[in-house]
């Protein structure tokens, strides 16, 4: 059912499935919380991502085999317990326009869609947070409607402004800081999701839900968005 | 009460034991690259195991003491001088207000650690003082920086037996715990991996040690998953990257195993073009060896 493997001298990896699946983020997010509650300071860190949960632990307190035994017991208790974590919904306002959406015009042509239909497709979906990582508070969100999916750029851009909203294959994400990257940029949020606001560290958890809402140019600028 | 940076050298940053508990938020573990030299520095000064030090890469750091206290320099063998007079490394040394400390000319090893009694009291961000340049958490030292610390006129001296002093010129075998996708690699691929000598690439940094050698043909679609400190990715060009303290928390390359942490400490002192080999260790041996290390240095959370 669950496959558990060693990941290091003080780490294991628990697989909850073999393929990416919309039911997994909530399950994995819940289990991460349950495991931390049950094992307290034995757990150093958890990294939920797509189909798996990486767990590092204090090897002064427990060895590999004893940890595997404990985790297995908790996994077996977990199955039906959905009360522990209600997914949080995070709203992100986005200004969808060529002015900030560096790839929007090209995508509309490629997909033969009006801007309005494109925006409707991107905002209609409730996205699961599949993983948080690569860089701080960067949340991988899925799944993007098949009509607006697009592969990564062949050559990543050197610089993408903070707040940019991108699409790569079946996933979408917001760049929290100025960075390089190969996602197709379709708009920008006025929200500051960077760690300049330290509370942003806690913004996204695997198993949360993200909804995008379309805003106009005026509202974007009034909310602190830059061009 | 502080030290003032006169010259920062090539790359000097404040580091501690690491930023634990933020992996789920996308942060790296961060912290010192050579846990062995770092722990000795804090041990010699009877510090807490997590006290912050300066990690000095390729030397060149010059500091002015604005405090009376004790310091210990460990790690790379450098010319350590106070007011232009040679001072021993791997032991605690008294410094006085106005002293100029310089660290130059690395002869063996590439990272030196300057510990101070009570630790450097710089800003704590997300539970740690460790600087991570990739994540824009903190910054490298620049001339004029002021590093706060405590005043100490008396110290409980501790010393290190000569036999514990590492030899960074020694041939390095990285002991690998079979983890992750180890069993998905074929016998031929294992043979190729364990029999060859790899060479450390110039592009190695605090995020990863890149190795050059004969590529392993291995193509498999992978879903991104959490990565451990020391895990060895086989990238699409067939060459290994040993993931280190500033590595991203998740990644999508297959991993052939995880290097034992105390061998990663040794790896942190090897310059580019050094040859390294891999050999297997089982997880129980690795855990026992690490427990001994933790007990000696009073590391009560690992």
Q: How many residues does chain A have?
A: 227
Spatial CA neighbour of B71 closest among B102, B104, B31, B50: B102
8-state DSSP, A40: G
pLDDT at A207: 93
Closest Cα in chain A to B251? A134
* Mean pLDDT of the region B143-158: 91
pLDDT at B157: 76
Which whole-number Å values give the CA distances from B193 to A33, B211, B212, B232, in the listed order? Answer: 38, 11, 11, 11
* Mean pLDDT of the region B122-141: 96
Homologous superfamily of the A89-222 domain (CATH): Cyclophilin-like (2.40.100.10)
Lowest mean pLDDT among A148-157, B39-48, B216-225: B216-225
B84 touches chain A (CB under 8 A): no
* Mean pLDDT of the region B191-205: 97
A136/B260 CB distance under 8 A: no
Residue A152, pLDDT above cutoff 60:
yes
Fold adopted by B172-296: Cyclophilin (2.40.100)
* Average pLDDT taken over every residue of chain A: 93
B74 touches chain A (CB under 8 A): no
Contacts of A8 in chain B (CB under 8 A): 177, 179, 228-231, 258
B179/A6 CB distance under 8 A: yes
- Provide ipTM, 2 decimals: 0.95
Q: Which own/partner contact pairs does B268-271 have at CB distance under 8 Å and 24+ positions apart?
A: B268/B33, B268/B34, B268/B110, B268/B111, B268/B244, B269/B34, B269/B37, B269/B75, B269/B76, B269/B108, B269/B109, B269/B110, B269/B111, B269/B166, B269/B168, B270/B110, B270/B168, B270/B172, B270/B200, B271/B110, B271/B200
B249/A206 CB distance under 8 A: no
pLDDT at A166: 97
Residue A145 has a CB neighbour count (10 Å cut-off) of 15
CA A176 – CA A21 distance, rounded (Å): 25
* Mean pLDDT of the region A213-226: 97
Nearest to B287 among A64, A136, A138 (CB): A64
Residue B221, pLDDT above cutoff 80:
no
Nearest to B231 among A7, A195, A204 (CB): A7
pLDDT at A81: 58
| pLDDT band for position B154 (cuts 50, 70, 90) | confident
Domain ranges of chain B: 2-164, 172-296
* Mean pLDDT of the region A129-157: 92
* Average pLDDT taken over every residue of chain B: 95
Joined together, the tokens standing for residue A13 give 């990896």
Residue A82, pLDDT above cutoff 70:
no
* Mean pLDDT of the region B281-289: 98
What is the value of pTM for the model shown? 0.93
Spatial CA neighbour of A9 closest among B254, B233, B226, B178: B178
pLDDT at B300: 84
In sequence order, which residues have a C-beta less than 8 Å from that of residue A98 and are 6 or more positions away?
Answer: A104, A105
pLDDT at B176: 98
B23/A46 CB distance under 8 A: yes
pLDDT at B155: 76
Joined together, the tokens standing for residue B280 give 């297997």
Residue B60, pLDDT above cutoff 90:
yes
Nearest to B260 among A9, A131, A135 (CB): A9
Q: What class has domain A3-78? A: alpha beta
Q: Cite the residue boundaries of each domain of chain A with CATH code 3.30.1360.40.
A: 3-78
Lowest mean pLDDT among A95-109, A194-208, B72-86, B115-129: A194-208
Which whole-number Å values give the CA distances from B139 to A51, A73, B95, B206, B248, in the listed order? Answer: 35, 44, 26, 14, 18
Condensed to tens digits (0 to 9), the pLDDT of residues A29-45 reads 999 999 999 999 999 99
């Amino acid at each position: 059912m669950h496959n558990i493997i060693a990941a290091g001298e003080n780490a294991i990896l628990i697989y909850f499935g073999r393929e990416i699946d919309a039911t997994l983020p909530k399950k994995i997010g819940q289990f991460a919380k349950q495991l931390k509650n049950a094992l307290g300071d034995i757990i150093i860190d958890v990294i939920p991502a797509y189909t798996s949960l990486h767990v590092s632990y204090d090897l002064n307190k427990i060895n590999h085999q004893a940890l595997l035994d404990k985790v297995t017991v908790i996994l077996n208790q977990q199955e039906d317990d959905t009360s522990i974590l209600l997914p949080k919904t995070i709203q992100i306002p986005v200004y969808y326009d060529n002015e900030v959406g560096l790839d929007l015009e090209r995508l509309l042509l490629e997909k033969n869609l009006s801007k309005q239909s494109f925006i409707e497709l991107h905002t209609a979906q409730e996205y699961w947070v599949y993983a948080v990582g690569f860089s701080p508070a960067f949340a991988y969100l899925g799944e993007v409607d098949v009509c607006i999916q697009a592969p990564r750029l062949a050559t990543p851009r050197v610089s993408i402004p903070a707040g940019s909203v991108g699409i790569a294959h079946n996933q979408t994400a917001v760049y929290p800081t100025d960075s390089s990257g190969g996602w197709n940029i379709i708009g920008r949020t006025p929200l500051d999701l960077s760690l300049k606001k330290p509370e942003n560290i806690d913004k996204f958890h695997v198993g949360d839900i993200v909804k995008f809402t379309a805003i106009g140019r005026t509202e974007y600028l009034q909310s602190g968005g830059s061009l | 009460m502080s030290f003032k940076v006169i010259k920062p050298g090539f790359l000097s940053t404040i580091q501690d034991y690491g930023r634990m508990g933020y992996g789920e938020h996308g942060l790296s573990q961060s912290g010192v690259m050579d846990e062995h030299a770092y722990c000795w520095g804090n041990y010699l000064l009877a510090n807490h195991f997590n006290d912050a030090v300066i990690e000095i890469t390729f030397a060149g750091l010059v500091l002015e003491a604005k405090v009376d206290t004790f310091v210990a320099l460990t790690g790379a063998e450098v010319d350590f001088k106070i007011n232009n007079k040679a001072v021993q490394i791997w032991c605690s040394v008294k410094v006085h207000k106005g002293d100029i400390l310089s660290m130059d000319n690395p002869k063996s090893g590439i990272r030196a650690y300057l510990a101070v009694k009570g630790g450097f009291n710089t800003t704590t961000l997300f539970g740690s003082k460790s600087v991570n340049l990739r994540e824009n958490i903190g910054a490298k030292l620049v001339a004029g920086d002021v590093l706060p610390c405590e005043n100490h006129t008396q110290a409980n001296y501790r010393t290190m037996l000569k036999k514990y002093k590492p030899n960074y010129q020694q041939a390095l075998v990285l002991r690998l715990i079979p983890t992750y996708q180890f069993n998905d690699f074929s016998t031929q691929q294992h043979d190729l991996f364990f029999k060859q000598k790899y060479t450390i690439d110039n592009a190695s940094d605090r995020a990863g040690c890149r190795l050059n050698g004969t590529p392993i043909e291995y193509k498999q679609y992978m879903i991104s998953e959490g990565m451990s400190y020391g895990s060895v990715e086989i990238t699409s060009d067939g060459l290994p990257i040993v993931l280190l303290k500033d590595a991203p928390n998740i990644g999508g390359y297959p991993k052939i195993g995880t290097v034992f942490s105390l061998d990663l400490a040794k790896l942190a002192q090897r310059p580019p073009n050094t040859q390294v080999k891999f050999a297997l260790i089982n997880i129980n041996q690795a855990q026992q060896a690490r427990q001994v290390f933790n007990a000696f240095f009073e590391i009560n959370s690992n």
